[in-house]
Amino acid sequence: MVKFRNIATAFLIRDNDILLMKRSDKKEIKPGFWSGVGGHLECEEINNPRAACLREIYEETGIRENQISDLKLKYIVLRRWFDEIVINYMYFGRTITSHVIENDEGTLHWINKDSVLSHVSFDALSLTLAHYLEYGDSIDNVLTGIVTTDESNKSVTNWNTLQDMKDRI
């Protein structure tokens, strides 16, 4: 039976750095891997991934919503992981604070944009970050992507604009 896992991930930008988390070595899934800040949507958040994103940011970093500007959903990425379809809502925003708290999830690091891709361990996240670093703020719409593999078994995705159907009325 296929199940669904809904995740909200945030990439906060401060000056020329992006906030990443190195997951704790005690984590059951992907210990020691690098990712953005985020986690699973709670039941009451299933229709509001932004609320989940803000909750996760605060729980994992101590950064409050009023310390974040331009937090926008830029990508929805799907991938198959064994018997699950993982749906990741990826947000990008800016903050002026560099102060973050310690947490049990892992350690937080401000990584320069020029080297951030060498740190990120999850293919869905690295593909998304690579696209964002190339196109960044010029992305006006939400983009969707499905992570697949090419003939050499390398992870790839094709990005598509999630169009508002009201434009067809």
Write the pLDDT tens digit of every residue in 34-80. Answer: 999 999 999 999 999 999 999 999 999 999 999 999 999 999 999 99
Report pLDDT for 85. Answer: 96
Residues sharing a CB contact under 8 Å with residue 71, sequence separation 6 or more, in sequence order: 10, 50, 53, 54, 65, 91, 92, 93
**Domain residue limits at 123:** 3-168
Residues 118, 166: Cα–Cα separation, whole Å: 40
Single-letter amino acid, residue 134: E
Write the pLDDT tens digit of every residue in 92-137. Answer: 999 999 999 998 889 999 999 999 999 988 889 999 999 999 998 7
Report pLDDT for 30. Answer: 75
Residues 36, 57: Cα–Cα separation, whole Å: 10
Residues 1, 87: Cα–Cα separation, whole Å: 17
Q: Are 157 and 90 in contact (CB under 8 A)?
A: no
Report pLDDT for 168. Answer: 66
DSSP H helical ranges for the chain: 49-61, 123-135
CB atoms within 10 A of CB 92: 23
Residue by residue, DSSP assigns 59-84 as: HHH---GGGEEEEEEEEEEEEEETTE
Single-letter amino acid, residue 97: T
Report pLDDT for 32. Answer: 82
Write the pLDDT tens digit of every residue in 14-39. Answer: 999 999 999 887 877 777 889 999 99
Residues 61, 78: Cα–Cα separation, whole Å: 25
Maximum C-alpha span of the chain: 52
- Count structural domains, the chain: 1
Give the CATH number of the domain where residue 85 resides: 3.90.79.10
